[in-house]
Amino acid sequence: MHTLEGKVAIVTGANGNLGRAVATAFHRAGAHLILIDRSADRLAAAYPDLASSSDHWLAGGVDLSSADSVDAMVAGAQERFGRIDILVNTVGGFRAGPAVHEESLETWDFMLSINLRTTLNTCRAVAPVLLAQGAGRIVNVAAGAGLNAPAGFAAYSASKAAVMRLTESLSAELKGKGIGANSILPGIIDTPQNRDAMPDADFSTWVTPEAIADVILFLCSDAARAITGAAIPVTGRM
């Protein structure tokens, strides 16, 4: 198993299906976890064994769409642990359906905010910390739809494509300073919500959160030290 022993890792969207899988994989690999969610109560319910641990921080009440809120969280993480080694952005959302000329601007704003702005805010806040240390890893969750946009997916696909381009620029800017930045491109994730939404689908072809978490763990480990700027499909058998 890849080790993150002693590393300090921020995981956004820690109460989501993928966020929980990443947190579990990182915990087993020995990382100190900073788990982010807007609700402190949800975090405490999801991670009761970590709530009182000095080795981890359940950072509830963080609004990732607010740069000030993110900056305060990063400052708190530095004060608590003295360093940050890893940032994983799993937070995000999905809306699709109408054609481009029928889609509301509210949906466009929501997709760009929850998928791009949240990722941008955390990367902007964490990058100076990693630069000061001369080392670190960033993994952002984009999507396969960011490469090929189906009909009705314009707002979602554009926001995820923007995450990919953001990650590529980060990699180009930071790779000479010992910092790697990569994105992953999941297909349909096997979650209870997706099963409810698509009950007639073949779930066996979907990718599980645990399988995606394994790829993220690899990218954050020393085994992936030569990889940066990649956009890696993680699509199961689709």
Domain assignments of the chain as residue spans, ordered by start: 8-234
pLDDT given at position 30: 97
Decide if 68 contacts 118 (C-beta within 8 A): no
- Other CB atoms within 10 Å distance of the CB of residue 78: 15
- Rounded Cα gap, residues 148 and 235, in angstroms: 14
| Segment 114-131, tens digit of pLDDT | 999 999 999 999 999 999
pLDDT digits over 93-112, tens only? 998 889 999 999 999 999 99
Which candidate, 181, 156, 182, 176, places its Cα nearest to that of 97?
156
Residues of the chain with pLDDT under 70: 238
Place of tokens 């763990």: 217
DSSP 200: T
Written as six digits, the tokens of 189 are 């994730």
**pLDDT on residue 237:** 80
For residue 83, the model assigns a pLDDT of 97
| Amino acid (one-letter) located at 42 | R
**CATH class for the domain made up of 8-234:** alpha beta
Expressed in angstroms, the distance from the first to the final Cα of the chain is 26
> What pLDDT was estimated at residue 223?
96
Name which of 215, 158, 147, 133 is nearest 182 in CA terms: 215
pLDDT at 56: 97
> Does 156 qualify as catalytic in the annotation?
yes
Query: Which of 6, 177, 183, 185 is CA-nearest to residue 88?
Result: 183
User: Choosing from 57, 153, 156, 206, which is the catalytic residue?
Assistant: 156
pTM here is: 0.96
Token pair listed for 2: 């890849």
Structure confidence at residue 44 (pLDDT): 93
- Please write down the HEC assignment for all residues of 16-52: CHHHHHHHHHHHHCCCEEEEEECCHHHHHHHCCCCCC
Rg (C-alpha) for the chain, rounded Å, is: 17
* Structure confidence at residue 236 (pLDDT): 81
